[in-house]
A and B are shown apart, each in its own frame.
Chain A
C-alpha cells in the first residue's frame, strides 16, 4: 500500500461517537462546584520565613560549634572562648526551648511540602 493510499485511508471519514445528552450539563455542574469551592489555603510563607531563617541560623551555629569542638578536642572544650553575647543568647534560647521550636518548625515544613507534593501529583 502506497503512502498516499495509507494517508487517504487514515484521513477518510472516521467513525465518531456522539456525546451523551447530559454531558454538557454534567461538565458545567462540575465546573460550578469547582468555582464555588474556596481556593486552597496557600502556605504562609511570610510567617514561616523568619522561623525557617532562625532554623537555618541555628543549624549553622550548631555546625560551627561542632567543628570548633572537633578542632580543639573534647578535653580542651572548656578553653573555647565564647563571646558573652552568644552565651547569653544561647541561655535565653535554651530556656525558651528553641531547639524544640526549630525541630517542630522543620518537621511542619517537611510535612506541608510532602502533602503539597502528593496533592499536586494527584490533582
Chain B
C-alpha cells in the first residue's frame, strides 16, 4: 500500500498542477469568449467586464437624468413666470427684464424661434473593401471635428442660436467623440446629425457652401447632406444649465479696452 502510494504520489502532484492549469484555462476562455471579444473591440472596452450589470446601471441613471431634466424645465418655467409677474408689477423693472431675457437667449436657457437653416449630415454610403479596414472606413464617417467645423462656420456666419440633434449649442458646449458616439453637452448623439441654426438663412447657407468650405470637402466623398433654408424653425433650450463653480464676477468691473 505504501509502495502504491509512493508510486501514486506523482499523479497527485500532477493533479494539483492540472487543477491550477484548468483554472487558468477557464479564465482565459472566459475572457476570450467571442461575444465579449466583439463587444470589447466594438466599444473599446478594456476587459469587457460584467456588461449586463453596467447596462442596468446605465438605464437607471438615464431614468434619473430624464426625471431631473423634467424638473429643471418646470423650475425654469416658474422663474420665467415670476419674471413676467415682476415686469408687470413695476415699470422700473422692465428694462431689467428685457436685459435678462436677451441674456437668457445667449445662455440658451430659453427655446427660440425664427428663420434659419436646417442642415442634415449623414455618413457616406461609400466603403472601401471589406470590414477589417476600420481605419480606412473612418474617412467615410462624420466625425466630431466635422461637426465642430460646421458649428464654427455657423457662428462665424452670424447664427444667433444653433442646435445639434436637439442639443442647444452655447458658449461652453463641447462636441467630442466618445467611442462610437459623439457627445454634445454630455449627451451622446449619433448620425444623422441635424443642425438647426437661426439667423439670416441666405448668409448661413452661403457660408456653409463656400468653395473649399466644410461641406465642399464632404461632398466629393458622397456624404449625405441636406441643406434647407426655412422661414420658421425652433431651437430648443439647453437641458442642463452651466454652473459657475470657480469663476466669480469682478466687483469693480470696467468695460474691456478696445483692441489697438
Are A and B associated in one complex?
A: no
